[in-house]
Structure 1
Amino acid sequence: MYCIYHSSLVDDEGVTKACRCQTDNVDGAITFFRANGFFKNFDIKSSTDELLIYLTFYINLALKRLEFQVCSQTSGRLLGVAYRPNGTPNKWWIAFAQRKFMNIIVPQH
């Protein structure tokens, strides 16, 4: 049986907050992101759970954008070393495409 990870922080009087939230909520959202990602429903028990849900959506969006950006940056920089300024392939780089890394063949998209 899986359990949704709720925020362990509750709205207590006397707790210092910035923008109505406690800083540990960000760490909690990051820690529980993968586990909470499996659930289709989330029973909101406190206002900090609402923030946890918002941060989970934000982390998901940020990861999607990071994946596109990382791949794009890598591809752009790789072009600069795999091909010479005149557009001809650099055989000392292109030849390594045929080699296995960690004895694994990476499927092409």
Structure 2
Amino acid sequence: MPAFNSTFVNAEAADSRVIGNLILLPIHTKFRGPAYPPQQEYDIIEETLDLFRANSFFKNFEIKSNSDRLLIYGILFVSDCLNKLSKTTNYKEAVRILNNLALDSFSLPGDVGFPLNALYQGASNKNESDLLRSYLQQFRQELADRLLTRIYKDDETSPSKHWLAFTKRRFMNKSL
């Protein structure tokens, strides 16, 4: 059985912007950045969170579209977020930890330290690089925020064991 790919293939035909081979899809967000709201309620962040647990079992992933690259980035970021949390972390501490992780400096596709340079192309100029960095920072902030909502849905004193069970799983044997 193959891994689950992104359903936002048709979004690539619309007016979404592509930098390198990473598409900047619209997202519902409360954080400041270049992303604009989508026409529908379901966005790439919801899809990432919905497919994370199923896709984290796979070591191989066939990329069928540029939106799959954004899905891969999101899944790897969720994995990093879960690795930062522990069973004893309460909601307020988890918010602080994941906000710091989302805002920490990170390497972009095409940079020397980026772990998936074989799958991603870098930005062609400084303006595209700045746009990509601000989009990915906004993407990471919103993804961390929605992940916390799901993990602490039942109890704010401890995270869900059903999410923390995936801390040992490594999607594609990679991490950001």
Interval containing the TM-score (normalised by the shorter chain): 0.5 to 0.7
Q: Deviations over 1:3-30 (max 9, x none)?
A: 311110020224599x812321111110
CA RMSD of aligned residues (A): 2.6
| C-alpha contact (below 8 Å) 2:48/2:74 kept by paired residues | yes
Within 5 Å, give how 1:12-51 maps onto structure 2: 12-14=13-15, 20-23=24-27, 24-51=43-70
| Cα distance in 1 between the residues matched to 2:87 and 2:76 | 17
> What corresponds to 2:82 in structure 1?
63
Measure the CA separation in 2 of the matches of 1:58 and 1:3.
21
TM-score with structure 2 length normalisation? 0.35
Amino acid at match of 1:22: P
Equivalent pairs: percent with the same residue?
Answer: 31
Q: Which has the higher helix share?
A: 1
Map 1:93-104; keep pairs closer than 5 Å.
Answer: none
State the Cα distance separating 1:66 from its structure 2 match: 1.9
> CA offset at residue 69 of structure 1?
6.8
Aligned residues: 70
Query: Conserved in 2, the CA contact under 8 Å of 1:9 and 1:48?
Result: yes
**Partner Cα separation in structure 2 for residue 44 and residue 62 of structure 1:** 23
Question: Is the contact made by 2:45 and 2:74 (CA closer than 8 Å) also made in structure 1?
Answer: yes
Provide TM-score, normalisation by structure 1: 0.55
Higher relative contact order (CA 8 A, sep 6+): 2
- 5+ residue gaps, structure 1, are 74-109
Distance 1:69 1:48 in 2: 35
Matched, 1:9 2:8: yes
* One-letter amino acid of the structure 2 residue matched with residue 21 of structure 1: L
Q: Considering only CA atoms, is the larger Rg found in Structure 1 or Structure 2?
A: 1
Give deviations 1:53-105, integer Å, cap 9, x for gaps: 0000000000111227717x6xxxxxxxxxxxxxxxxxxxxxxxxxxxxxxxx
CA 1:16/1:44 → structure 2, altered by over 3 Å: closer, same or farther? closer
